[in-house]
Amino acid sequence: MVEILPSILAADFARLGEQIAALETVGCHMLHFDVMDGHFVPNFTVGPPVLESLRKITRMTLDVHLMITDPDRYAPIFIEAGADQVLVHQETCPHLDRTLRMIQSEGARAGVVINPATPVSMLDEVLDIADYVLVMSVNPGFGGQRFIPNALDKVRRLTARKRDRGLQFPIEIDGGVTKENVANVVNAGVEWIVTGSSIFHTVNPAAAFEELLQLAREACAVRV
Ligand code: DX5
Ligand code: ZN
């Protein structure tokens, strides 16, 4: 099932609760939560206390994207704070197999992310362990960047591997998705689409969410 996951990185943090409630009323049920540490990526965002507050006000699935150098240390803390699913970067995990299993044993779904410069083949040995895979379509660290088209080829390669190996994991994409390219993203095989600016940097985020979801579902209907 194709889903749009609003990234709160682009939200108005002073009105976060209100903006999330508005999205929930139009059927949004997955939210993307970006965590940055100023080391792995050149930016900072929010941490466990904010996640804990969001957990209290929403039943949405909270998808936590750890752009941090030490995910093994902090993943359990984010799970305790309310994460339903946690994404770690392949580039930060020398023991990726162990990290994914640790996240699962702590009670969350475990996702793995690859940066634009990381080939899909780096995931070959963990595709049957990861619950889902995120292909970055921008270099992580900032919202509002331009979509890197090569991400679509990577998604197609991943889709082919899924098919060849009889695996079912959802493919997620993050960065630079707009009304203009969302259909291409779905056609390549993406199921979970993260969007920040295209939702929150509009006059009406709930309406923008609905429009993106409709475009994505139409593309999916054609694909199937
Ligand atoms: C970038 C973050 C993204 C970001 C996407 O490092 O991981 O989740 O919020 O924002 P847009 O949709 O504006 O590219
Ligand atoms: Zn993200």
Q: Which residue in the list 34, 37, 63, 131 is annotated as catalytic?
A: 34
Pocket test for ligand 1, best of 7, 179, 199 (most atoms within 8 A of CB): 7
Ligand 1 pocket residue status of 34, Cβ below 6 Å = yes
Residue located nearest, by CA, to atom 6 of ligand 1 = 140
First to last CA, the chain: 11
Q: What is the spatial distance between Cα 220 and Cα 17, in angstroms, rounded to a whole number?
A: 31
Q: Which residue in the list 37, 63, 131, 174 is annotated as catalytic?
A: 174
CB 154 within 8 A of CB 174: no
* Residue 27 in this model has a pLDDT that exceeds 60: yes
pTM exceeds 0.95 for this model: yes
Paired with 64 in beta bridges are: 33, 86
Q: What is the spatial distance between Cα 147 and Cα 138, in angstroms, rounded to a whole number?
A: 6
pLDDT at 36: 98
Q: Which of 101, 88, 164, 77 minimizes the C-alpha distance to 133?
A: 88
Ligand 1 pocket residue status of 172, Cβ below 6 Å = no
94: helix, strand or coil = coil
pLDDT at 224: 57
Tokens of 220: 């999916």
CB 67 within 8 A of CB 89: yes
Q: Which of 163, 194, 160, 161 minimizes the C-alpha distance to 177?
A: 194
pLDDT at 221: 86
User: How many residues are recorded in the chain?
Assistant: 224
Give the CATH number for residue 153.
Answer: 3.20.20.70
Query: What is the residue range of 139's domain?
Result: 3-223
Q: What is the pLDDT of residues 136-195, one digit of tens each?
A: 999 999 999 999 999 999 999 999 999 999 999 999 999 999 999 999 999 999 999 999
Measured from the alpha carbon of residue 137, the closest ligand is 1
Total domain count, the chain: 1
